[in-house]
Amino acid sequence: MSKQKKIVFLTGTRADFGKLKSLLKITQNHTDFDVQIFATGMHLDEKYGLTVNEIYKSGFKNVFEYKNHEGTEFMDRTLAKTITGFSKYIATQQPDLIVVHGDRVEALAGAIVGSLNNILVAHIEGGEISGTIDELIRHSVSKLSHIHLVSNEEAKKRLIQMGELPSSINVIGSPDLDLMNPATLPSLEKVKKYYEIPFDAFAILMFHPTTTEYKNVKKDVKSVVDAVLLSEENYIVIYPNNDLGTKEILEEYQRFEQHSKIKIYPSLRFEYFLRLLKESKFIIGNSSAGIREAPYYHVPTIDIGTRQCNRGLATSIMNVPYKTDAIVSAIDSVQHQKNKNVHSNEFGTGNSDQLFLNLLQSNKIWSVNCQKQFQDL
């Protein structure tokens, strides 16, 4: 590379920041790159603990904050507002590359702005399948992106099936695995003290809205809460994403308040969450953490409903319907799964950051043409 390249990373949630963190670190510490962070979405939401502060606490600089909230009922308006804000930001910054992750409307906004301004867009973890509106957004982001940084060969095959150029697809694994080495995580004692967790043994509940099934959300979350209370296990409960249906979930979670076996948190610091997950008895709900991170730690997953349908291959993942008795039964049976050999390398081996840096230091990315062509099979 002849001159320093400017890279903008767009982050809208605690989850995608965890995915981007190792990539941010390895590039922001390198003299070849001028790295900027556009922080929006849940990061600026007080209800979720203003997680933009975690970006600063992680030592990152050049952070631009943009509030895009239009209420959880209006994802389309949030998208529109994010496009407006990011477009103005990009006009000032004039980056060489925009990096987005996953399947949120913030990522879609970033890809739209980049592609319409002839700026290269790199999409992390495209080519995957999931439930709800997320899958439509993820594939749309892929079609608007020029460079694909995928987790595994299956994702690569899907992108090729979608007409993407094979040479634009790079298998780097899932970047959050870079942070998951237990030796580098804070101790359980430190985490429990920080969050005032009194339990010796506990499970984790993370349940998000499935927006395409919004009409059922009240009934579905009631089944989950009923089962959790009936199980009489200790639980660490983490707020859902701020999507359509979140209000109904949080209203049902009021039944957990003042319950001695349940601790509820709007958000957890990513590495602290990883330590808690590694030490948990199981994770229950419909979060991708049960599909990605939990199998890495040999922790069983009770995956409820369709949100992560067909997404994980690990034998430790048990899928159950939104029925209280089925969920209670799963909680009873999952207790015996802990020592199963469930580790899967379908999401990489924990060197995504170095693979990313190698790509950036080569001419492969910078020679990609913004004019895309559909590739017939």
**Which domains occur in the chain, in start order?**
5-178+350-361 (3.40.50.2000), 182-334 (3.40.50.2000)
Q: What is the pLDDT of residues 147-179, one digit of tens each?
A: 999 999 999 999 999 999 999 999 999 898 899
What is the model's pLDDT at position 238?
A: 97
The answer on pLDDT for 3 being more than 90 is: no
What is the model's pLDDT at position 296?
A: 87
Q: Give the separation between CA 285 and CA 211, rounded to whole angstroms.
A: 15
Question: How many helices (H) and strands (E) would you count in the chain?
Answer: 13, 13
pLDDT band per the 50, 70, 90 thresholds, residue 337: low
What is the model's pLDDT at position 292?
A: 83
On average, the pLDDT of the chain sits at: 91
Torsion of CA 120, 122, 127, 131, to 10 degrees: -110
Residue at 349: amino acid letter? T
pTM for this one?
A: 0.87
- Element (DSSP H or E) covering residue 317: strand 317-320
* Average of per-residue pLDDT across 249-276: 95
Q: Give the separation between CA 291 and CA 303, rounded to whole angstroms.
A: 8
Q: Give the separation between CA 43 and CA 50, rounded to whole angstroms.
A: 5
